[in-house]
Amino acid sequence: MDSPGVDVFTSQRPPSPGLLAAVASLEAACFPERGADCEVARSLLLRRAALLVLPDGDGLLGFAHVTWTISGTLTRLCVRQDARECGRGRLLLAAALSTLRGAGVHTVTLHVDAAGGGAAARGLYAGAGFSVDGAVGANYYGPGSDAVCMVLVL
């Protein structure tokens, strides 16, 4: 279940407040239209959530966040702008999927931008075997920003 270089945090192994602040900052940089919320921090209070981080010295190259019950959801995957296109997103995605497999999950869903801005992310997910399941809805991420649901059977 471990991936080299990726640290996994859960309710049993919580991240430090400083790391949560770095996650919120990176999330706001990656998704400025959504802004940072406290979903990641709140979800780690639950037993079925994990935060996977790719550290860079005192900083953060990227993170992924998953939750699960019977099925799993990849709620976030963020890689710092200057650290993209080097396989870090694939590494975080593989670690997230491994975490979900280890939790007994067989189906994973995610929502991703349906427009041009989400093309790289959709390519990353399709390369891992996800397929488009349908539209989530108009203006999902805000005015003019629609999303699609992608699904992977593990």
56 to each of 19, 79, 114, 128, 132, how far by Cα in Å?
12, 12, 30, 24, 32
Per the structure block, which two tokens stand in for 129? 């075997």
pLDDT value of residue 103: 94
User: CATH classification of 7-109 is 3.30.1330.60, yes or no?
Assistant: no
Instruction: Tell me the pLDDT tens digit for each residue of 94-136.
Output: 999 999 999 999 999 999 887 766 788 899 999 999 999 987 8
**pTM (predicted TM-score):** 0.87
Residues of the chain with pLDDT under 70: 1-4, 33-46, 116-117, 140-142
Q: What are the sequence ranges of the domains in the chain? A: 7-109
Chain position carrying tokens 């919580």: 14
Environment class of 89 (CB within 10 Å of its CB; exposed 0-12, middle 13-18, buried 19+)? buried
